[in-house]
């Protein structure tokens, strides 16, 4: 249990939301911090059909997995969040878990900019592919990933991964895995 005296924990809440990121249009893009987990939790809940994870999960994304997650701020307002992690069996693959963009910020290309911002980090220099799961009906995510594959000058393959009946007991739609790569990312425009 942290009593607040740990210096590393205090840095999460002592920095303004707009510090330490990369400007992209009207937005600031950067890794998330622990003190932003509640705002991320609320944003995901406002983006159906995304499943809100536990607040604890969001805290882990903002700390243990911060280098593979990203947030976008418009001034001090959280506009978007992308969560991801490296696949344990394929550490050169970035799995994009969730993309949440507030209703007022949709259509700005924020999701793709956030994924690209993760790829541009020094810690991501060896990532050679992106994987994600999407439902067959999720046209906006599919379009974003197709566009990203074109920008990365690589292929995107799709295969069934989780079945609605077998894996989800008819509580969710089937999920297909998208595999984008291989690529060599350059942060240059």
CA–CA distance, 178 with 72 (Å, rounded to integer): 24
Domain spans, the chain:
23-180
Which among 142, 123, 122 is positioned nearest to 134, based on CA atoms? 142
- For the entire predicted model, the pTM comes to 0.86
State the DSSP string of 8-65.
HHHHHHHS-TTSSSEEETTEEEE---GGGHHHHHHHHHTSTTSPP--HHHHHHHHTTT
**Segment 83-126, tens digit of pLDDT:** 999 999 999 999 999 999 999 999 999 999 999 999 999 999 99
Sequence-distant (6+) residues with CB within 8 A of 4 are: 10
**What was the pLDDT predicted at 11?**
29
Helices H / strands E in the chain, number of each: 5, 8
CATH number 3.40.630.30 given to 23-180: yes
The size of the chain, in residues, is: 189
**Segment 61-95, tens digit of pLDDT:** 999 999 999 999 998 899 999 999 999 999 999 99
């Amino acid at each position: 249990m942290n009593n607040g005296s740990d210096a590393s924990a205090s840095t999460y809440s002592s920095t303004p939301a707009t510090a330490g990121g990369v400007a992209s249009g009207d937005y600031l893009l950067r890794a998330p911090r622990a003190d932003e987990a509640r705002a991320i939790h609320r944003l995901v809940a406002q983006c159906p059909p995304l499943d809100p994870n536990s607040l604890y999960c969001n805290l882990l994304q903002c700390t243990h997995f911060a280098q593979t997650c990203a947030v976008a701020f418009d001034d001090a307002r959280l506009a978007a969040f992308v969560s991801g992690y490296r696949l344990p069996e394929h550490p050169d693959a970035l799995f994009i878990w969730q993309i949440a963009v507030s209703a007022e910020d949709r259509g700005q290309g924020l999701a793709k900019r956030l994924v690209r911002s993760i790829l541009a980090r020094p810690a991501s220099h060896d990532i050679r592919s992106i994987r994600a799961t999407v439902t067959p009906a999720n046209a906006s995510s599919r379009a974003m990933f197709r566009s990203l594959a074109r920008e990365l000058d690589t292929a995107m393959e799709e295969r069934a991964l989780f079945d609605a009946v077998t894996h989800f007991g008819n509580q969710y739609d089937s999920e297909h895995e998208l595999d984008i790569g291989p690529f060599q990312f350059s942060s240059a425009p």
